[in-house]
Structure formats: structure tokens, C-alpha cells
Amino acid sequence: MHLLILGGTRFLGRHLADQALAAGHQVTLLHRGHSNPGLFPEAEHLIADRDQSGALASALQGASSSGWDAAIDTSAYFPRQVRLAAELLGDRVGQYQLISSISVYASFEGLAIDESTPRLTVDEAQATAVTGATYGGLKAACEDAAEEGFGERALVVRPGLLVGPWDPTGRFTWWAERFARAAADEEQAEVLAPGHPQGPVQCIDARDAAAWLLHQAEACTSGACNLTGPEEPLSMAEFMATAQRTLAPASRLCWVDEDFLLAQGVAPWSELPVWLPAASSGVHRADIGRALATGLQCRPLAQTLADTAAWAAAEGGGPVQSAGAPPRPAVGLAPAREAALREAWRKR
């Protein structure tokens, strides 16, 4: 196949490009040249800021190829970007994959969200920046623009939490690093385990997500699809036990309940990554039946944890700031705060 990736040099797109090249596909990457310059010398690189007037058009005009079997868009956050892609690529690509997000859903209460669950809406004129409040609605508007522009050739992909090596958010990585510290330092051997042990957890190794995306390019799938894992439901207790077994067998877990954590002002998702209180844990209960039916295979969580810990030890796994993007928030509890919380929990 001949693939165009709008992005491709940071995390999900990086794994995608890596796997596509390893499989012998011809790969064109379009990006600004800011993130990880020098990656993938064997691919064609079109350097453009898709937000600069005329830049996308002239970069695509300069491409060595007149068309691609599929374009995979990892870097669209505004519907105008997707409309422009449709205008310029409409007759040059077989399939267009939009990487959207599970955050498009309007509510996570009730049963497992499937692809027909109502989505957020946004006032495009007002939503001029990507923030926590606008991200989901803007992605939903991007989805509409993809379906309008590419019709049956559009595949809208809604990933849940993407994890693994090269994750620029530092979220899941924090847990891998936390258990690595528990193994290395007896003073940090007790790990705060948040919330309900039986609460759900979903996440997908970006390498498994990339393999599935490539498969969909070959199969020319269309429509919308949630994309997360694992294949079988996972609880917070299993998540923590797997991390413990894989990275710090001698560590101890200190379960602290969610009301206490919330009363102490602990921020779910960011200060304690992955963890969500019961009221919003529907984010971790998405229906992935369609992804499984179209070939999704998830590697064991233990492998993702081990690889993430090894990558973070070698490269540093904290949040990476990207040029032109809003600053990434810090993630994870500092050791002293975590110790103080465990102490306060015991004395309550």
C-alpha cells in the first residue's frame, strides 16, 4: 500500500509509520518537522504546517505520488482542518481515517457506550482553542466533516487511553515509573492504589492500535469505531496487580477509597493517572465489539508495562511539550504527597 500519514512522528502515528515501513508499505509523512526530526529517513517527508494558509496544498502538490491508498489523519483537532484535507485529498486517497477520540461522547453514564451513543456538539465559532472543554466537541465536528468530505471512504476511529512507549502525555507511563521506583527504593515500596478495586480500566497499547489501523487501511473499513482494550474487561485491582507482578513483586498496595482521595483534592486522571471516580468511570467501559470483530488484538498488559518502564528508563517518560500546543499538565503524585496521603488515610 501507499500510505499518507498526516502526522506520524510522535506516538500513535510514529508506531503506525514504523509498522507500515516494516511491512514494506510506501509511506509519506506530512508534518512540520518539529517533533523528532530525522525519524524515518526511508519515508517521504512533506514539511508543512497544515494551519498555515496554502501550506498543505503546496506540500501535497510537491509529493512524489499523485495518490495514496489511504490517508491516516492523526493531527486534526478542528473541523476546518478536515474540510481542507477533504478538499485537497478527496480524489487522491482511497480511504481517509480520522483519529478522533472516545471523548466525543456526550455522557459516560449508564451502559457501555457504543458507536451510536450521542456525541457532544460545539459552537465552532466559539471553540477557537483545544481545551478540556472543547476537545471532545471539536473532535465530533471533525468526524462530521470527515463523513461529509469522504462519505463511505471515511473511517472514524475513537481511541480510548493510548499507552506504551513514546506516549507524550506521561499518564500511563507514570504508573510504570511508580512501580519501578517501588522496586528500586524500599521507602517507596508501598504504592497508593486508588478507588474501587473492582472499577473498570480500559487502555490500548498504541502499537496494537497502529496494527489495527493498518489492517483497516487494507480492508478499507468505513464508519465509526471505538478503539480501546483489553479484549476482556479489566479491573483496577487487576491493573495494579499486573503492574506489581511485572515491575515490583515485593511492593505493597495501599488501597485508598475515592471519597477520601476526592476530599483531599486529588485530581483523577492527572494526579493519579488512569484512575477515574465511579461517576465518570464509564470512560473505561466503552463497547469495543466492532474493533474486535474487525481484527483488534491486544498484547498482554504486562508486556505494555514492561516495555513502557524500559522505554521511560532509557528515554525519560514524562510529559513532552509540543510546539504550538497548549502546555501539557504535570502528571502523577509527587512521592511526598503520596506518602502524606497514605499516612492521612491510615489515621482517618
Ligand X SMILES: NC(=O)c1ccc[n+]([C@@H]2O[C@H](COP(=O)([O-])OP(=O)(O)OC[C@H]3O[C@@H](n4cnc5c(N)ncnc54)[C@H](OP(=O)(O)O)[C@@H]3O)[C@@H](O)[C@H]2O)c1
Residue nearest to ligand X (CB): 13
Using alpha carbons, list the distances in angstroms from residue 100 to 76, 162, 287: 8, 12, 16
Residue 336 makes CB contacts below 8 A (sequence gap 6+) with: none
Q: Which stretch binds ligand X (CB under 6 A): 10-18, 144-152, 174-182, 267-275?
A: 10-18
* For ligand X, the closer CB: 170 or 199: 170
User: Which residues within the stretch 21-40 sit at the binding site for ligand X (CB under 6 A)?
Assistant: 31-35
Q: Which of 4, 9, 136, 174 binds ligand X (CB under 6 A)?
A: 9
Q: Lay out the site mask for ligand X across 99-118 (x = CB under 6 A, - = otherwise).
A: x-x-----------------
Of residues 99 and 247, the one with the C-beta less far from ligand X:
99
Among 152, 216, 162, 186, CA closest to 12: 162
136 neighbors 103 (Cβ within 8 angstroms): yes
Kindly state whether residue 328 participates in binding ligand X, applying the rule CB under 6 A: no
Contact 144, 156 (CB under 8 A): no
Nearer to ligand X, 50 or 153 (CB): 50
Position 14 contacts ligand X (CB under 6 A): yes
Q: Which is nearer to ligand X, 51 or 190 (CB)?
A: 51
Is 284 a binding residue for ligand X by CB under 6 A? The answer is: no
The smaller minimum CB distance to ligand X, of residues 14 and 119, is found at 14
Around Cβ 86, how many Cβ atoms within 10 Å? 20
Would you say 40 and 27 are in contact if contact means Cβ atoms under 8 Å apart?
yes
Q: Which stretch binds ligand X (CB under 6 A): 43-51, 181-189, 272-280, 294-302?
A: 43-51
Q: Is residue 54 at the binding interface for ligand X, with CB under 6 A as the rule?
A: no
Residue 218 lies near ligand X (rule: CB under 6 A): no
The stretch among 11-19, 115-123, 210-218, 261-269 that binds ligand X (CB under 6 A) is 11-19
Given 10, 25, 119, 178, the residue binding ligand X (CB under 6 A): 10
Per CB under 6 A, does 75 bind ligand X? Answer: yes
Return the residues of window 137-176 that contact ligand X according to CB under 6 A: 159, 161-162, 169
Judge contact between 27 and 44, C-beta under 8 A: yes
210 binds ligand X (CB under 6 A): no
Contacts with ligand X: how many residues (CB under 6 A)?
Answer: 26
Which residue ranges make up the site for ligand X (CB under 6 A)? Answer: 7-14, 31-35, 49-51, 74-75, 99, 101, 159, 161-162, 169, 322-323
